[in-house]
Structure 1
Amino acid sequence: MMKERENRFGRNGWIPLIALTSQAKKSRKLSAFLFFVQWLDVKFFVEADSKCRREGSGMKSKGSFFTMPYKRKLFVYSVILSLVPVLILGLISSSIATGSIQEEVDRNHNHILKQLEVQVDDYIRSLDRASLLLANDQYVQKSISEGASPDLLQTTLYMMDTVQKVITMTDAEFEVTLVYAQTGEMYSSRLGMVRELAPPYDGYVKQAKAFFNQTTVFTPAEGRTNPELLIARMVPLHAVQPQGYLFLHLDINRLKRFIDQFELGGERRVMIVDSLGKVVMSKEPNEIGSKLDSASPLFPFWDNPAMHGEIELAKTNYSVSSIKSSMNQWTYIAMTPTAELTRKSERIRAVTTGIMLLLALVWLVLAFVASRRLYVPIQRLIGKFSPENSGDRDDLQAIDSFMNRVMAANEKLQSRISEQEAFRKESVLMQMLRGELSDKESGAFVEELKLPLRGGWFCVCLVDIDQFASFQQKYKEKDRFLMMYALRNMIEELCQPFVSYATVTPKPGQIAAVIGLEAPNEETARAIALVCREIRERVSEHFAFTVSVAISNVREDYSGICDSYEEAIALLDYGWVTGPNKTITTDQLEPSLRQSSRVLVKWKNALVASVKQGEFGLAREQLEQMTGDLPRTLQHSEALLGLFAYLIGELDHFLQEQGYELNDMFEYDVLEQLYTFSSLEEVREWIAGTVFASVQQHVQTQSLSRQKKVVAEVLQYIREHDESDLSLQILADHVRVSPSMLSRMFKEEMGSNYMDYVIQFRMDKAKEWLVHTEMSIKEITDRLRYASVPNFTRIFKQVTGMPPGNYRKQQRGEDGVN
C-alpha cells in the first residue's frame, strides 16, 4: 500500500500543491497556513496507511477523503487556496480603494488650492508692486503735496500720465484713486478729478491710518452689485503725517477668473476668506463680502487651516479641505460633495466584485487543468533561471520578473550606450580641437570610443557658411539644423577616400573635418584640396548658400590638432578679402593680403564700436575713410561686397542683443539689397544715408529703459561740454537724478566708475591735442579744468605711463618715421 501511495502521489507528492498554489501565497500567514495543510495531509495519510495495514484490506471507504486520488485532492487544495485569497484580497482592495478616494480628494483639493494660492498671491504681489511704484513716484508725490489746482496743471498731467503708464505696464487690471488729504479732493483713473471726498473713501482713509506705512487690503462689502478689492497705501511712504492716500481698485470678478479656470466639475466649490473671516471670492456671488461667524460650518476650517473633514451646508454634505496663505493670511477652502464620493465607491465595489468573480472562474479552470506534469517544466525553469529563488512563493512571476528585468536592463544599457557614445565622441573631438587633452589621453579616448582617427599626422579643414547672418534670417531653427545635418553627412561622404577622418560642429555655421595621415606629402595635400573643392561645389549645387573652406597645415601627433584648428580659424578671417565660396590655405595668401586683412579688421571694429556707442556721425566719417582706402586694398567686387555683408551682419547682431531685427526696419531684405549695387560709392551712400539713419532713428525712438537713456544723455553731455566742469553733481542735476543713483547707473551700463571714465575721456582729448596741435601743456591743463599743471601731469603719467611732454615728442617722432 505504501508503494501504491508513492506511485499515485510521488515520494514528495505535496510539492506540486505548493507549486500550483504559489500564486495564492500573498502573505507570510497564508504561506504558514499552506504548510500546515500540507503537513496535515501527509500526517493523516500516514496514519490512514498504518490503519489499513492493521485492519486489512477490508478498510476501504470509497467516500473517505484520505482514499481520494491525489489529483482530486490537488484540485480541492487548489480551489480552496486560490479562491480564499482572491476573495480576501478583493474585499481588502475594495476597502482600501474606497478609503483612498478621500485621500485622492484631499490631494486634489490641496493641488487646486496650492495653484490658486500661488496665482492669487502673484496677482496681489503685482498689485502691491504697482502701489509701491506709484507711491514712490516723484510726480505722484509732488501732485499729492501741491494739490490739484489749475495752476499746477503740468504736475497733475505728469501724475495722470504716470498712473496710466503703471496701469498699462502691470499685468493685473485695476483702477487707481488718489486721495488728497489736505484738500479733501480725489483723482480717479476712471472718473478724473473729484473735488469732494466721497464715501466710502472717508472710511477707508480712517482705516488706512491705523496701518502705518503698510499695505492695507479692503475686501468687498456684502451685498454690493459690483464688489471690488481695494489695496491702499499712504503717500509719501514712511511719513508720520501722510499727505494723501493711494487706492488700487480690483474688480472681484477679475479675481474670480482664477477660480473659473479650474474645471471643478459637478458641485465642487472653492472659496477664499480673508484674515478677518470675510469671504473675498466664492462661486456663489451672494456669499462675497459676507463674514464667517462661529456658527458657520466653515468657521473651523478658517480658524484651523490645513484641516480636513465633512460638513453639511445647504442640505448638502461636503468633504472640505483648507490651507492658509503665508503672504496675506487668506484662507483657501475647497469643497466636494460626498455624494460624488459615494458614487465612486459604488462603482469601485461593482468593478471589484466583477473582477473577483472573473478571477474565481479563472482559478476554477486552472485548478481543473493544472497537474503535476504541467508544473514540472516550470519548476525546472525556475531552478535554471533563479535557483536561489526556487522555493519562493511566485515561481511564474519570478521567471517573468527575472526576464523582464534582464530585458529592461539590456535595452536601457544599450540605449544609454548609444546615446552617450555620440555625445562622448563629439565632446572628445571638441576637447582635442581646444587642446584640452594630451597625446596620451587623446590616444586612449580614440581606442576606447573607436574614433576613426589613425596616423601620426593630422590636418583640420574648417567649413564655414558664407554670410551666416543671412542664413540665420532666411531659415528657421529647425531648417537650419536639418541643413547642417545634411551638410555634415555630405562632408563625411566626401572624406571617405581618407582612411582616417572625423567631423565635429564647433559652433553654428561651422563644421570641422579632422583628417589623419600616415605621412604628409604633395599627393595628400592635393587630395585634401580636391575634396575641399568638391565640398564647395556640392554645396553650391544642392543648397541655396555657399561655404568657404580653410585648410590648415599638417601637424604631427594629436596635440597638433589644436594648432591646426586655430590656424584654420585665422585663415577664415581672410575670407573678407578673398571673397565667398573659396578654399583658403596659407600658401595662397600673399603678405600684402594679410596686411590688408589686418587693416580691414581694424576699420570694421572701430566702425561697429562707434555704432554701439551711438556716435553715428563718427561712424559715417569712419565709413567714408574706409571706403577711400578699400580700392587700394581690395580689387575684387565680391571681396568688397563680402566685407560690407560682414559689417551688416555685425550691425544686425548688435541690434539683436537690443531686441530688434535689422530687416524689421526695411521693406526689403538688407543683404539682398546690398548685392544690387554696382559701385562702391552707391554702397557707401546707402549704408551711411539709409542703414545708419534707420538704425539711429530706430534705436532713438524705441522705448529704452530710463537707465540707458540717462547714461546716453550723460555721455552726450560729456562729449558736448568736454571743456567745462564735469563733476558728478552737475551731471546729476542735468539728468535730474541724485549723484549716487547716477553713479550706480553709469557703473552698471558702462562697466566703469563715472570719474574714471571722465579722466580717461580727458586724457584722450589731451593726447589728441598734444599730437595734432601746438597748444601748451598749461593751456591744455586750463581747458580740461585741472587745478594746476603738476596735477594734470601726474594724472596723465598715471594713465599713459609718461609725462605729457615726452608723449608729444614720442608720438610726433613716430609720425615722422611713418
Structure 2
Amino acid sequence: MNFRQMTYLNKLLVYGFLLGVVPLAILGFLSYFRASTTIQTYVEAGNLQILKHSQLAVEQNMKTVETALVAFLNSPQGTDLYNIPLDYNKYEPFSRLESSMRQLQIYETGVFDVSLYNLQYLWRVSNAGITTFENKEEELKPYEDFLNSSMNSTWIKNERGIRFLKKSPIYVTNPAMLVVADIPYSHLSKLLLRANPLGSTAILDSHLELLLGQDQGSVQQLLGNTELKKKLSGDDAQGQLVMKRDGESYGVTFVHSTFSGWYYIAAASIDEITKESRSIGQFTWWTCAGILFLILFAAWFGSNNMYRPIRKLHGALVGSGDKSSDPSGSKEDHIQQIGQSVTKLLDREKKMSSQIEGYTVQLEAFFVQKLILGDVRKREITEKLNMFSYATDWHKMTVMAVEIDTLEGTRYSRNDQDLLLFAINNMVSEIIPQTNRLAPIVSSSSQLNVVGTVLDDPEAWNVELQLWAEAIQQAASNYLDVTVSVALSKPVEQWTDLPRAYQEAGEALNYRVRLGNEAIIYSEDVVSGTDEMIHYPLKLEQELLASIKSGYQLEAEEKLCNFMQELVRPPFHYQEYQLSLFRILTEITNLLQVEGIPLRELVSGEAPLIEQMSQLRTVEEMEEWFLQKLITPVITVLEERRSSQFQNISDSVIQMIHEDFDTLLTLELCASRIHYHPHYVSKVFRQETGVNFSEYLLKHRLEMAKGWLTETSMTVTEIAEKLKYTSPTNFIRYFRKIEGITPGQYRERKTGNVSKD
C-alpha cells in the first residue's frame, strides 16, 4: 500500500510503531554485534595468553634440559671426560658417567635419551651403553652442520622429536665433547594439549615448517596460505589475522619466540567462537518480538487517543453525518477533508481580499483620473481624499506627466508600450513618498502623477520635483532600458485647478521636439505665451521640393535638415510646428499627384501618414521619418516614372526615323506627333541614345545607303535622291567623311562591280 494514500490515523500508527521499533532494532543489533565481537576478542586474547603459556611451558622445559646438560659438562666430572680414552679397565669413571646421564633423563623434562660423544678419543656413551667408533665422519654426519658452525648449542628437529646439541668446551675451534639430548613429540604434545583446549595449537620452526600440532592436517592447510606466511615472516613478535579456509573463517593468533626462533600459533574457527553469540541473538530476537507487540499495542492506543480531537474538528468543519467522510471507508481521511475545507475558506478569504484590494486600487485610479479631468464635483473631492487616506493639507500641487521617448533601437515593440507604462507606474509608487502623491495612473500614452507638498517655498518644491523626475528617468533606464521625458505643470493651490495643470503638462511634453529625448520640461519655461510672429520657411520648402523633383537625394537630405531646424528655431510654438509639418507633407504628396502617381504606392499596408507623423516626438525622429517614408520613396518613384517616360519618347522618335527616313523628317515634326516640345524631345533623345536627332537620322540613312549599295543596282544619284540629300555631291562627301571611301568604291569593294556613276 502506498504510504501517501494511507489515512492519517494509519500514519500515526505507523509512526508510533516505527518510533518504538527502530530504536529497539538498532539496540538489538548493536547488542548482538557487541556480544559477538566481544566474544571473538576475548577468544583471541585467550588464545594469545594460551600461546604464551605454551611457549613458556615448552621453552622452560627446553631451558631446564639445556641447563642440566651445561651444568653436567661444566662439572669436574664432566671436564675430566675430555682427556679420558675408552679403557675397559677404568670402569669407575664411566660407571659414574652412566649414572649421571640416567639422572638427566627425568620424566618431567621428557628427555628419553642422552648421548655423549668424545670427539678426541672417539667413544660414545648413551642408553645403549659405551661404544667406540672408528669412522668419525660417518658417526657424526647428522651433526656435521652444527659442528662446522660457530654455534655452541642449538635445538634441531628429528623424526621422533626435538634434539639438543651442545659443544664443550665452548668458543674453541675443535671441541672435545658433543652432548645430544632427545625429547619426543609426545612430551611436547602433552604440554600443548594441557595448555590450549580451544582450537588447534601448533609449533613451527624458524623455517615455518611444522614441528608438532594438535590437528596437524588443519595446520598444514593453514600454512598453505600466503597471507599467513607473509604475516609470520614479518618483524612482529605476536599478532592476529583472519583468513579463509574451505569457505570457513579462522582467527589465527601467533607468537614468535626469540629464544628458539620458533612460532607458536593457535587457529580457532570464528563460527565456533560465535556459536554462543548466536544463541544470545536468538534470545534477543524473542525478547524484541515481545517488546514489539507491546509497542504496537501502545501505538494503537495512543494514536486513537490523539486522533479523537481530529474527529471532533472534522465533525465541526465537514459534518459528522456524512458516512463517506470516515477514513476507513473513503480514500480521503479526516485530515485531508479538514485541509480541503480550510483551504476553501482561505481561498474565499483571499479572493475576497484580493477583489476588495483590486476594487480599491481601481477606485483610487478612477478618482485620480476624474480629478485631473475635472469630472469630480468640488464637495466630493475632500470626501474622496479622506476615504482613500490622502493628504488634504497640501499647499502646492503639480501634475507630473511621464512619457516614453521612443521604442526604436530597443528590445521592445509598440505593443509593449502599455506594459512599460505600468512598470513605470510601479516605479513611481516606490520613488515618490505616499504622503506626497495620489495614486499614479496610466492614461493613453503617458503616466500621470498628482504630487503635492506642504512647503511654501517654490524653489524647494522645484528641487524636490527635479530629484523625483531624475530618479524616475534613472530607474527607467536601469530596469527597462528605455528613456523617458518628464513634464511638470505650474504649481496650483486648489484641487479644482488640476485639470488646467494636467493640460499644461501634456502641452509641455510636446516641446521634446525642440529639447530632445530624456528631458525634464517645466511648463512655465516652454509655454511663454508670446505673440511674436512666426515665419514659415517658404524658401527652404521650395528648395527642398526642387531637389526632390530633380532627384538629388543628398541635396534633398541637406535641405530637409535645414528646414526642420528652422521650424524649431525660437520663438517656437508646438501648434505652429504641427501645421508646418502638415503643410510640407501636403506639398511633397502633391508632387506624386501632379505626376499621376497614387499615394497608396507609398503607404500600402501601413497606417496613414498623418497618424504615423503624430506619433513622432523629436526633430531627429521627424527628420528620419520624412526621409525614409516620403522623400526617398518619392524620389525613387519619380525617377522610375521619368525613366519610363524618357524611354517611351526615345522609342517613338526612333520608330519614326526607321519608318520615315526617306522623307523630309525633322525634329519638330516628330515632337508634334508625340505632343512634346521639340527642345524637350531633343534633350530626352540625346540623354537616352547619346546622340542628337540629326546625327541619329544621318547614321540610319547611311546604313540604309550601304545596304542599297551592296544589295541593289541603284545608282549613287538615285540613292542620294531617295535619302533626300540636296545633291549627290553632298551624299558622296558625307559618305567619304564617315566611311573614308566614296560610295562607288564601297560598292566595288563589297561586290567587285564597278559603279556606273
| TM band (smaller chain) | 0.3 to 0.5
TM-score, normalising length from structure 1? 0.32
TM-score for both structures, normalised by structure 2? 0.34
User: Whose radius of gyration is greater, 1 or 2?
Assistant: 2
